[in-house]
Homo-oligomer: A and B are copies of this chain.
């Protein structure tokens, strides 16, 4: 594995790979890898000849009161994890490398960014789409991998790529959970032990809601009540939202039919945590995608 901090060096390595016909897979990250990141690298490794992982904590996607300066990092551990997953290039730019002068160009996706996390983080998704557009330009991947834990981010990035005809396939990978169900997140590192235990209520509430839907519940309000009622039993967990939305356009639904995203966000201690599940109601079946639980050996 090569580790490069300069876009110029990155481009040279990727150009060489492309020149011999390699298909390039790309995993953009903010580092502090957990099993979710590793599952993205593994998917990229399986489906491409050359794998690039970027590690950049992007200031543009943090609000003024958010946790930019506190965001956890451990480059040595991240390098070892990426190497173990067979990554070819780990791109670790500085902020000055990505933004050598103030950026005045914004890539904005309307509509999909209005609700869910966009409501409490109004500048977040512009920061995401702008830096992802830049990273796509720098790397020039055939395929890019995003976790479905960040379901809204995935929908927004995918729509950006389609709208701008970016020659990259945006691939969503399963949400990965801790053994107690908590969705893996670099921000889990912020949690004090009591908060860490309390945070599991989010996935327990989603499981409970999934059971209701599997038993035939189709009323979004009822599912919403199950979620908020359960999460309210845990005073350490301050709910930001619990929503039942169309999985494609992310607008609220009243009836659970077709593909539906059930998403929650909450503040727990110093961390803001999100979780979700996707429900697909067909004429003869109901599929609930709650992601996967990491095997013991995958937890890093």
Contact = CB atoms under 8 A, between A and B. Distances in A.
A11 B134 CA distance: 21
Interface string A154-169: 0000011001111100
Interface in A94-152: 103-112, 129-130, 133-134, 137-138, 140
Interface in A1-54: 7, 11
Interface in A162-204: 163-167
Nearest to A133: B164
A249 to B, nearest CB: 10
Nearest to A135: B165
A154 to B, nearest CB: 15
A108 B105 contact: yes
* Copies of this subunit: 2
Nearest to A99: B163
Contact of A164 (B109, B111, B137, B167): B137
A134 B163 CA distance: 8
Contacts of A130: 164
B112 A163 contact: no
Contacts of A164: 105, 107, 130, 133-134, 137
Nearest to A7: B165
A105 B159 contact: yes
7 contacts: A104-B163, A105-B109, A105-B110, A105-B129, A107-B164, A137-B164, A137-B166
Given A104-B110, A105-B107, 12 more contacts: A7-B165, A104-B163, A105-B108, A105-B159, A107-B164, A108-B108, A134-B163, A134-B164, A134-B165, A137-B165, A137-B167, A138-B165
